[in-house]
Amino acid sequence: MSADDLRKSRSVKLKYLATLQQIGRPLEEPIVGRHFRLPERARPGEHPVFDMSLLYIPIYCHLVLHPPEDIARPPTPELITRARMEKAVENWMD
């Protein structure tokens, strides 16, 4: 083995030393409590409000629906329009 191989082998052993020592042993309470805790919520949870006046709850009654209106399409950028025109001319010339 060369010196470079020994150095790589030692760096791998040092990197995984804590993991290698844990193999075969059960997890201890501080490890589980510190590493496997759920993250805190950024904001309070929003719970759906169901209409309980019916005999059943429709599947999608908790979704918020917005009134229908026309969608305003933004103008196509000049670069894309020009690229489409060039491609159309190339296809027409072939």
* Average pLDDT of span 22-50: 62
DSSP state of 43: S
Residue 90 pLDDT: 87
Task: Say if pTM beats, i.e. exceeds, 0.95.
Answer: no
- Residue 17 has, within 13 A of its CA and on its CB side, a CA count of 6
For residues 1 and 45, the model is more confident at 45
Decide if pLDDT at 45 tops 80: no
What total of structural domains would you count in the chain?
1
Decide if pLDDT at 75 tops 80: yes
For residues 83 and 11, the model is more confident at 83
Residue 13 lies in domain: 1-38
Quick check: is 46 in a domain?
Answer: no
* Average pLDDT of span 82-92: 90
Quick check: is 7 in a domain?
Answer: yes
